[in-house]
Amino acid sequence: MPPDAWAYEHNGLHHYQLNQPGGDPDLVEGKTTWLRSTNYPKPVKVILAILGGCFWKPMYYGPNTLIELWNSQRPDQPALSIESDQIWRPWHKPFWSVLRQAWLPYTIGHFVVPTLVVYSIWGSTASLGLIINLIAAELLTNIYSFFVIVSNHSGVDLYRFEGKPRSKGEFYWRQITGSCNYHTGTWALDFTQGWLNYQIEHHVWPRMTLSQYRWVQPRVKALCKEWNIPYVQASLWTRSVAMLKVVSGQY
């Protein structure tokens, strides 16, 4: 995804309109309405959500960041969304814009160029093995990042908000009660979870370095306990189950 699109969609809209229906572009239940509203059995919905997670970066995250940036640049035109036909139909201009700015550069840089280099040096067998491994790695990292990232703000125990916060204190209260942490405290946990296990602290101090999160996290948790502010923390697996229940419409 282009850096300017990521900066606008994530650093701007997501952080400053966290968990606001119609404002937060990453609100889980808002982006999975089509699945939640179907009459499929719940196990089928869960399976579809997991399968979708294998492709969520090219099918959601890349296009969605671009769409939000475009909407901000064209306030006088009808807003696009990830569900818009114009994004997925080749006879519409936005489709080609997503192709040119997101899908094509990544495909060429990550799959085509390495494969051609290996083919030119070691031949077809090696290049075939490389492309198989690249595709497998892409699917694996997509599904893993799907669970780690999407579960951070999903669950019946996390607050949803309306309108702008009325004070700085309410803003920080929203960042805490609208986010959840996973287990923290060791380098193995931090690295394998991409430091997203400190999501609460990240939303309170988005410019803080990753290594500082471990130092500040127990202090934030203790302060929340002192002031009776909900501080949600559980294992990644527990939060993933909570996320799948939201996506499948179980609550």
**CA neighbor of 198 nearest in space, from 210, 9, 155:** 210
C-alpha–C-alpha distance, residues 233 and 157, integer Å: 11
End-to-end CA distance of the chain: 32
What is the per-residue pLDDT for 174?
Answer: 97
What is the per-residue pLDDT for 231?
Answer: 98
The yes-or-no verdict on residue 251 having pLDDT over 90 is no
Q: Report the pLDDT averaged over residues 95-115.
A: 95
Q: What is the pTM of this model?
A: 0.91
> For residue 127, how far is the Cα from the chain centroid?
31
Q: What is the pLDDT of residues 14-53, one digit of tens each?
A: 999 999 998 999 999 988 888 998 999 999 999 999 999 9
Q: Are 172 and 15 in contact (CB under 8 A)?
A: no
Tokens at residue 68, please?
Answer: 């939000």
Q: Report the pLDDT averaged over residues 182-204.
A: 96
Residues in CB range of 5: below 8 A, 6 or more apart: 65, 66, 68, 69, 101
The yes-or-no verdict on residue 249 having pLDDT over 90 is no
- Phi first, then psi: give them for residue 55, nearest 5 degrees: -130, 20
The yes-or-no verdict on residue 86 having pLDDT over 80 is yes
Tokens at residue 245, please?
Answer: 């229940």
The yes-or-no verdict on residue 170 having pLDDT over 90 is yes
DSSP 233: E
Cα maximum dimension of the chain? 65
What is the per-residue pLDDT for 233?
Answer: 97
Q: What is the pLDDT of residues 211-247, one digit of tens each?
A: 999 999 999 999 999 999 999 999 999 999 999 999 9
